Amino acid sequence: MKIDSVRAVVTGGASGLGRAVAQNIVAKGGKAVIVDLQEAAGQSTAREIGASFRYCDVSVEAQVDAMMQSARAEMGGLNLLVNCAGIIGAGKLIGKDGPMSGEFFEKVVRVNLVGTLLCDKAAATIMQQNAPSEDGERGLLIHTSSVAAFEGQIGQVAYSATKAAVMGMTLPIARELARFGIRCVAIAPGIFMTPMVAGMTAEVQDSLGKQVPFPSRLGRPEEYAQLVQSVIEIAMLNGETIRLDGAIRMQPR
């Protein structure tokens, strides 16, 4: 798939990794609709980068289905979904205030995992009707996993569970949708300069960066966007989870 032919929905696109992805797609001649719960930030980002914005809670099926159809209609097609929406969900199984509540765990699962599934399903339903490219491709689904899927730290019980699950369903989805020419790939970022990290002190940011073997710094959102572009352009990338982490292996805490 050529990036200038991309018609993309990017969830969590108001900031961070999602914003960088949408910005790169538009800059390279493609079209993008960014999806987020942060309406003011989403509208502002859309204006700044030349994209469109849709308010949508990815954990609500009816909202997701309507958003995908609206995005397809506006862009004149849909052939890429990049799932960047998610919540941190930090919390210990047995914390200072007692055991983790089932409701807390379910919320993280609902947003990070079920939200990805709902978006995948809605997008793939549209993509299967696309005219195939020369090599038979009709679309691409990208999941955002995390190094926490491999080395979850203390306090990441819910988060790690969802990111491992997002990774785990990548191959089955790729295998199932192969008959339509729709690929599915997951990216597992390490420690990146996201809005959450940006709110930390410079000392904490520097400390986090030094944990990365090389390059010893925080990952940049534009690097995630570059990898997304590579996945778009290399059709043989399918059913795989790609770590983007500077060789970091997270410690227990």
Catalytic residue numbers? 159
Q: To which H or E segment does residue 106 belong?
A: helix 102-108
Vertex 189 angle, CA 33 and 150, to 5°: 130
Cβ-Cβ contacts under 8 Å for 141 (sequence gap 6 or more): 81, 83, 120, 123, 124, 173, 177, 182, 183, 184, 185
Helices (H), 147-220: 157-168, 170-177, 195-198, 202-210
CA–CA dist 222, 201 (Å, integer): 22
